[in-house]
Amino acid sequence: MSLLLGQTALVDGADPIPKDLDALRDRVAALNARYRHHGATAVLEGALRDPEAGKIAMVSSFGAESVALLHLVAMVDRKTPVLFIDTRLLFAETLAYQQEIAERLHLSNVQIVRTAPEILDQRDPYGALRFSDTDACCALRKTEPLQKALEGFDGWITGRKRYQAKTRAEMEFFELEEATGRIKVNPLAHWGPEDTRAYMEENRLPKHPLVAQGYPSIGCAPCTSKVKPGEDPRAGRWRDQDKTECGIHFVNGVAARNSM
């Protein structure tokens, strides 16, 4: 399935997202209290089966470490909606890897999310926006189509981890995006790099082909470079720029993180 920004992306039969922020904060607090001492699998089962979590989708880049969480989700429910944002600037290897992993894990509800061609033609007709304003490019090709695709869902699963950035250091399993009213689920929040590697090796999961070529963190091709030994794994993302996030985890320029 392909979802385009500019077209309706609502899920049939989806309940409206509650607007009462106090009630939502209470739901998130209850979920964190309930699963605080559990592992990733239990958090995923809670997100996908606990009525307090609501209707949940997974968002995956099918990047360097994505297969671990995709495998966990497949073990819980292979019918889980998996939203894959195709910016039309991805590496060819990422597109091939996405198809390989979806088939291997028998994920039956992968939805390709793209910005509609007419919107790209209007706002980035020459494909040069990335050179003048990377934030605007990410908003056009990632953030906006994702927000459209998430309409009708009460929350979404991410692969974010605390160790990846200072902005994620206190991340909980469940967070509230107050601007959207959606719950964000971070089952791997407490995992370190060694946990991901061990899980992939134990389950014989295939690595993204670019990892062996020196890309430990993979985004769009124009904004991703190889990482030298000893560098931070994300040093190749937007190299030499004051930018560490693509924007999908921010709402109106602010990190959408619960304060608890």
Classify residue 241 by its DSSP letter: S
> From the centroid of its chain, how far is CA 125?
27
Q: Please tell me the distance from the alpha carbon of residue 72 to that of residue 20, in angstroms, as a whole number.
A: 32
- Is residue 110 within 8 A of residue 85, CB to CB? The reply is no
Q: Of 80, 13, 65, nearest to 219 (Cα)? A: 65
Q: Please tell me the distance from the alpha carbon of residue 71 to that of residue 207, in angstroms, as a whole number.
A: 12
CA distances from 97 to 60, 111, 252 (A): 12, 15, 32
Which residues are catalytically annotated?
246
> From the centroid of its chain, how far is CA 34?
23
Q: Which single residue is written with the structure tokens 């926006």? A: 129
Is residue 8 exposed (0-12), middle (13-18) or buried (19+ Cβ within 10 Å)?
A: exposed
Q: Please tell me the distance from the alpha carbon of residue 258 to that of residue 178, in angstroms, as a whole number.
A: 8
Q: Please tell me the distance from the alpha carbon of residue 8 to that of residue 250, in angstroms, as a whole number.
A: 22
DSSP sequence for 172-217: -SEEEETTTTEEEE-TTTT--HHHHHHHHHHTTPPPPTTGGGT-SS
